[in-house]
Amino acid sequence: MVSYKKLLNILKKVEEPDFTFVEGSFPPVFENAEGIIVKDVEGNEYLDFSSFFGVSFTGHSQAFIKEEAKNGFFHGLGDLIPSKEKILLMDEISNIIGNNFKGILLQNGSDAVEACLRSAYLYKKNKTVIAFKGAYHGTALTALSVTYSSNFRERFSDLLPFRAKFFDYSLDSLEKIDSYLSKNQASSIIVEPIQGRAGIKIPPKGFLKGLEKISNEKDIPLIFDEVFTGFGKTGEYFAKDYFKVKPDLIAFGKGLTGAFPLSGCFGKREIMDLWGESRGEATYTFTFSGNPFFSRVALRNIKKIESLNFRKKVREIERFLSRELERLKSFFTLKIKEVRGLGTMWGIELFPPLNSFQVFKRLLLNEKIITLPSGEKGEALEILPPLIAEEKDLEKLIKALERTFETF
């Protein structure tokens, strides 16, 4: 067995230094995961309350993935010759989204966001996009155009293909956006219905509806980036349904398969049809687009979400975390500034000088609890338990948070 220290030394030697933060015995090196439990190479077990960036929402290493692996047919011919699995999955997604939407399957969130931005560009022929402070839409160049953080943008700003006009993620911005669009053109408005990487920021009441109204009045496509929120985390398949808003385009990914890189962009037919008829080669495609194995897994994962009675289970998790995290806030008044969340997505904003990476690291090493550091300045701890988390698991999380906050 190779020790984790040796593995970390190898990592530092072969990986570019900006990618993984390595310091002393941090981080642990994971080896396998099943359900809510993750194991490292030293045999330590951790409870996962991150769903691994929201991907493993139905739990790790689901049995149906192993079953589908036995069926073979792991790769297809993408845009050239479709697989049965890809067609069935696209039909299922279109039915879930509703409104007769159509689209394309891709690989990751950045791809899906780019497809939405490209589609809107075909509709409006303009490179300006209305976006929001705190937004995270991905780090590939097109998605980076509408990602707010200077940490991601500053070194590559000269390369970005779209021009983003950033507004506050607040009700006050509605009037400003309306005024701006009365004098300027834009190809789209792109928004996360819940900002994830910004620290689980919930939109103020009326904000998303206000964007929908502006979009309709100005005939500018409204894009919902649901890569983070999609496939059950609000208690609906998509946050658009929770907030009762009808976007023109939707980007999704992460929780679609529960394990593999598969994403998509779906939108109104009058927009998507502007791509034109195929002439034998798609103008926006990837080697693994609509991968048959990933598509089979996605179909099984959607069935799993349904079988877990996700609408009821999400509300149960929401009630527990809302109650218990607010209780923590009332106890640690000098450490916890705000608790916010919806469904299974929760953020604990901290008072400086405490930052989320400190708390994340201590929870990970001392309590064997996996959460995520988040926020523009590292000010929020992100919690996103998988759908299979039981109340006893959530109780362990709360007790671990109590012990950890007591140490600061």
Q: Is the pLDDT score of 88 beyond 90?
A: yes
The pair of three-digit structure tokens given for residue 380, joined into one six-digit string: 């929020």
Place of tokens 């000269």: 158
> Residue 338 has what DSSP assignment?
E
Q: Is the pLDDT score of 45 beyond 80?
A: yes
Tell me the C-alpha distance between 24 and 26, whole Å: 6
pLDDT band at residue 315 using 50, 70 and 90 as cut-offs: very high
17: left (phi over 0), alpha (psi -120 to 50) or beta: alpha
53: part of which helix (H) or strand (E)? helix 51-54
The reported pLDDT for the residue numbered 78 is 83
The pair of three-digit structure tokens given for residue 27, joined into one six-digit string: 């981080």
Strand partners, 263: 106
Neighbours of 161 (CB within 10 A): 13
DSSP for 198-221 reads: TT-BPPPTTHHHHHHHHHHHHT-P
In this chain, the answer to whether the domains covering 4-58+309-406 and 66-307 adopt an identical fold is no
- Phi, psi (degrees; rounded to nearest 5) at 165: -110, 110
- Residue 352: CB partners within 8 Å, gap ≥ 6? 379
pTM of the model: 0.96
Q: Is the pLDDT score of 1 beyond 80?
A: no
| Reported CATH class of domain 66-307 | alpha beta
Q: What proportion of the chain, given as a percentage, has pLDDT over 70? A: 100
Q: Per-domain residue ranges for the chain?
A: 4-58+309-406, 66-307
Reduced 3-state DSSP string for 333-357:
CCCEEEEEEECCEEEEEECCCCCHH
The reported pLDDT for the residue numbered 405 is 97
pLDDT tens per residue, range 195-245: 999 999 999 999 999 999 999 999 999 999 999 999 999 999 999 999 999
Tell me the C-alpha distance between 30 and 46, whole Å: 10
pLDDT band at residue 297 using 50, 70 and 90 as cut-offs: very high
Tell me the C-alpha distance between 224 and 112, whole Å: 11
Q: Is the pLDDT score of 112 beyond 90?
A: yes
Superfamily of structural domain 4-58+309-406: Aspartate Aminotransferase, domain 1 (3.90.1150.10)
Residue whose C-alpha is closest to residue 370's, from 389, 342, 391 = 389
DSSP for 132-190 reads: ETT----SSHHHHTT---HHHHGGGGGG-SSEEEEE-SSTHHHHHHHHHHHHS--SEEE
The pair of three-digit structure tokens given for residue 61, joined into one six-digit string: 């290493």
pLDDT band at residue 281 using 50, 70 and 90 as cut-offs: confident
Looking at per-residue confidence, does 91 or 3 come out higher?
Answer: 91
pLDDT tens per residue, range 126-183: 999 999 999 999 999 999 999 999 999 999 999 999 999 999 999 999 999 999 999 9
pLDDT band at residue 46 using 50, 70 and 90 as cut-offs: very high
Q: Is the peptide bond before 373 cis (omega within 30 degrees of 0)?
A: no
pLDDT band at residue 2 using 50, 70 and 90 as cut-offs: confident
The pair of three-digit structure tokens given for residue 133, joined into one six-digit string: 């402070």
Residue whose C-alpha is closest to residue 262's, from 232, 286, 279 = 286
Q: What is the mean pLDDT of residues 379-391?
A: 97
The reported pLDDT for the residue numbered 79 is 85
